[in-house]
Amino acid sequence: MNIILMGPPGAGKGTQADLIKASFPIPHISTGDIFREAVSNETKLGREAKKYMDSGKLVPDAVTIGIVQERLMQADCQNGFMLDGFPRTTVQAEALADVLTKMGKKLEAAFNISVPDDILIARMSGRVSCNKCKTVYNTRFNPSIKEGICDKCGGNLIHRDDDNEETVKNRLNVYNDQTKPLMQYYGEHGILHDINGNRDTNTVFNEIKAILGSI
């Protein structure tokens, strides 16, 4: 099963990816997570990516495509993968199509999770994630039992630097300008599924699960 999860920042891609993983054992490839890991390890990639992430801009296509290409070649992607937050530009979508063709694979579904901007802003202002196991919570919509502490592993819950008001606005603009046009691209390829993400997490997941069960 080769699928992609798209949608504006805060739409619930990561949250849905975790639920999908529990039912369908395929690797979850999040370019945002890869970049954040590189930033926290202070690697060369991390230093490069941070400049863009801090201001809400996209990391250049050439860098991002190279990373995804390398990841897709790994053995665990042989029987399927789930891309979260990639592709985000038409250039990335075309590069992905090329890589998959070379590997003799194709995409089976592209989920576009939509949520109104005011809800996205509220979600991102309350988003916190575990510094150890990376589980995502929301101080308002999905709080941990003990404030600031992960239910699963006891790690500390951290608010992302780029989830501040100004960067969030830039990220929404970037999404509208550069990523939204991909809906048409995947629509034309006949694999687009529009999902209303402004419902509770399980309702959204059940819709995605039903579609995955049929492919």
Q: Could you say whether residue 152 binds Zn ion (CB under 5 A)? A: yes
> How far apart, in Å, are the Cα atoms of 110 and each of 21, 52, 114?
16, 26, 13
**Interaction residues for ligand ADP, span 89-128 (CB under 6 A):** 92, 123, 126-127
Least gap, CB of 158 to Zn ion (angstroms): 11
The C-alpha angle 159, 162, 168, rounded to 5 degrees, equals: 115
Nearer to ligand ADP, 41 or 104 (CB): 41
Q: Could you say whether residue 136 binds ligand ADP (CB under 6 A)? A: yes
Residues present in the chain in total: 215
Q: Which residue is associated with the tokens 């080769």? A: 2
Q: Could you say whether residue 137 binds ligand ADP (CB under 6 A)? A: yes
**Interaction residues for ligand ADP, span 140-159 (CB under 6 A):** 141-142
Please give the Cα distance from 120 to 33 (Å, whole number).
19
Q: Could you say whether residue 50 binds ligand ADP (CB under 6 A)? A: no
Catalytic residues: 13, 88, 127, 160, 171
Tell me which of 107, 204, 208, 212 binds ligand ADP, using CB under 6 A.
204
The b-or-e profile of 175-191 (16+ CB within 10 A means b, else e) is beebbeebeeebeeeeb
Please give the Cα distance from 191 to 107 (Å, whole number).
8
Tell me which of 29, 38, 59, 212 binds ligand ADP, using CB under 6 A.
59
Q: Is 185 left (phi over 0), alpha (psi -120 to 50) or beta?
A: alpha
Q: Which does 35 bind (CB under 5 to 8 A by kind): ligand ADP, Zn ion, none?
A: ligand ADP
Nearer to Zn ion, 130 or 212 (CB): 130
Please give the Cα distance from 193 to 77 (Å, whole number).
22
Least gap, CB of 101 to Zn ion (angstroms): 38
Give contact residues for ligand ADP (rule: CB under 6 A). Answer: 7, 9-15, 31-32, 35, 52-53, 56-59, 64, 85-86, 88, 92, 123, 126-127, 136-138, 141-142, 171, 200-201, 204
